Amino acid sequence: MPFLDHLTLGQYVPLNSFVHSLDPRCKILGTMALITSVFLANASPWPYLVWSALVVFLCILSGLSLKNVLASTRPALLLVLFTVIVNMFFAEGEELIRISFISITREGLLTGIKMGLRLYFLIIFANMTMMTTSPLELSDGIESLLSPFRRFGVPAHEFAMMMTIALRFIPTLLEETDRIMKAQLARGADLDSGGIAKRLKAFIPVLVPLFVIVFQRADELAVAMEARCYRGGIGRSRMKPLHWASRDSFSLVVVSMICIGGVVLDRWIS
């Protein structure tokens, strides 16, 4: 199968849905609210049911299938697993299993599962925001949200432009990586067998051309931007100005209520 023949983490899926049509600022603020509440509600299992129901509901509203959303978070599962394991081994409490000097406690196991689940929900919510918001909209939204901090010296436009370029080039570089990997495989390279050292060495013929292409592209882009008189954010107009509509306010209020509800439910039950 091709290396990139699946949805990657955070890959934008252009569809015509209610969630896609929302203002990016609404989606960013909503995601931040959800992430905050996921980390505040940590005592009982009930909020997790609320977040799960919300993920399903958002899938319906966004036209994305739950299977695709979960499949695209697969690369992050290793991080989730690592979090579970670290928490499992380093918490004190009632011992469940002991192998040599390593012991797994009941409290450790519960904390690990909870931490893993919270991290996974965080990844899912952030992933869904990116799947339903184009990179350009996302950076416009961030620039707009950061603009009040400009008076304190925060370079909102420059930060957003850096993000736009980075996000814009992720798919391009993934394609380039895919192409170079295939070109080297066609020359008999063996990229997926042997130990870590052998695999790292096998990747040199992929990384060197990739770096060359990255520098070439960066140089070309800089020249193209200068040729079009780019001089930073002052006085720049927008082709598609952001427009906050009543559905954005409504959606943000609903998400905030759910977040507060989740935290209150958690505190009340515990």
Partner 1 sequence: MSLEVCSVSFIYHKDTPLETKSLSDVSFRVEPGEWVAVVGHTGSGKTTLAQMLNGLIFPSSGEVIVDGLKLYPKAPHLKSVRRKVGLVFQYPEHQLFAETVLEELMYAPRNFAIPEDEAMEKIKRVLKAFELDEGILSKNPFELSGGQKRKVALASIVVTEPHYLVLDEPTAGLDWKGQEALLSMLRTFRDNGTGVIQITHDIEMVLDHCDRLLVLEEGRRRSWGPPAHVVEELADHPAKGLVLPDVLEMALRLRRAGLNVSLTWSEERLIRDIEKEVSSCLS
Applying CB under 8 A, the residues found at the interface with partner 1 are: 1-2, 5-7, 13, 15, 63-65, 67-68, 176, 179-180, 182-190, 204-206, 208-209, 212-213
The Cα 153–Cα 92 span in angstroms is 45
Nearest distance, CB of residue 2 and partner 1, angstroms:
5
Tokens of 217: 């592209």
Lookup result for tokens 């252009």:
14
Angstrom distance (rounded) from CA 48 to CA 238:
40
Q: How far is the CB of 134 from partner 1 (least distance, A)?
A: 14
Q: Least separation, in Å, of the C-beta of 189 and partner 1?
A: 6
CB of 203 to partner 1, least distance (A): 10
Q: Which is nearer to partner 1, 14 or 241 (CB)?
A: 14
Query: Which residues, listed in sequence order, are joined to residue 104 by a DSSP beta bridge?
Result: 97
Q: Put residue 13 in one of left, alpha, beta given phi > 0 → left and psi -120 to 50 → alpha.
A: beta
Nearer to partner 1, 160 or 206 (CB): 206
Q: Which is nearer to partner 1, 40 or 174 (CB)?
A: 174
Closest separation between CB of residue 208 and partner 1, Å? 4
Nearer to partner 1, 29 or 69 (CB): 69
| Beta carbon nearer to partner 1, 107 or 176 | 176
170 to each of 86, 173, 176, 177, 211, how far by Cα in Å?
Answer: 30, 5, 10, 10, 14
Q: How far is the CB of 135 from partner 1 (least distance, A)?
A: 16
Helix axes of 156-186 and 204-227: crossing angle, nearest 10 degrees: 140
Report which of 61, 109, 54 is spatially closest to residue 261, judged by C-alpha positions: 54
Find where tokens 């399903």 sit. Answer: 56
Nearer to partner 1 by Cβ, of 67 and 151: the residue is 67
